[in-house]
Amino acid sequence: MKHKFIKDKECKKEVVRYAKLMDEKGLVNSLEGNLSVLDRESGLIYITPSGVRKRWLDEESVAVVDRDGNQVDGKLRRSSEILLHEAALRARPDCNAAAHIHAPYLTAYAYCGKDIEIKCSTTFAIVFEKIPCLPYGEPGTSHIADGIEDLIREYDLILLANHGCLAVGKTLEDACKLVEAAEEVLKICHLTKEIGPVQDLTDSQLESIYENHPGSRRNQKRS
């Protein structure tokens, strides 16, 4: 029982910590964005509540949902997009956290329904290679997660058409840093176009990064 209480506190603290961090960075707001942690031992999902400014959250505000979809703890109602989190984490047994974020530059691509494939950034090449865009699914319904299993099995960060993005990781630190890294690269790319022309890496240079850099996405998948 003591172990269960400690784990419960840890999960709630993690959700609150990263929800506030994302708010401080301007990547979520009071109406958009939600974060979750899954305790695979108990099957409980700890998720940010609906329609609340993230920087004001406390541990009592975190909604806790059981395997059957029932909210069993938390003074505020769970996010309406919990189905998205459940689908992503169900498809990724290696991950225990999900961050659904409306970061401006990433979301701009989502509004255009475009995959992100850029060749000018070594960071992007190492960490992502590509950020695919999932077709539109209606928010607040089960359709928001249509097709997510196939994409999220292959990619840790995806776009949701006309909506935002979703990242998964072993922890919220892992999930959130993917969003932050991608958003920063896209911001710099946007600025670069004002200076331009952009100097892309060649296909052979990119392939060398994919195959030879020890921290590349491709090599991380192999390990």
Active site residues: 81
Decide: 43 and 52 in contact? Cβ < 8 Å.
no
Note the Cα 51 to chain centre separation in Å: 18
Decide: 222 and 212 in contact? Cβ < 8 Å.
no
CA 44 – CA 38 distance, rounded (Å): 6
Helix H, strand E, coil C: the string for 11-49 is: HHHHHHHHHHHHHHCCCCCCCCCEEEEEECCCCEEEECE
Burial of 212 (0-12, 13-18, 19+ CB in 10 A): exposed
Residue 188: CB atoms within 10 A of its CB come to 14
Note the Cα 172 to chain centre separation in Å: 9
Q: Which two tokens mark 198?
A: 């952009």
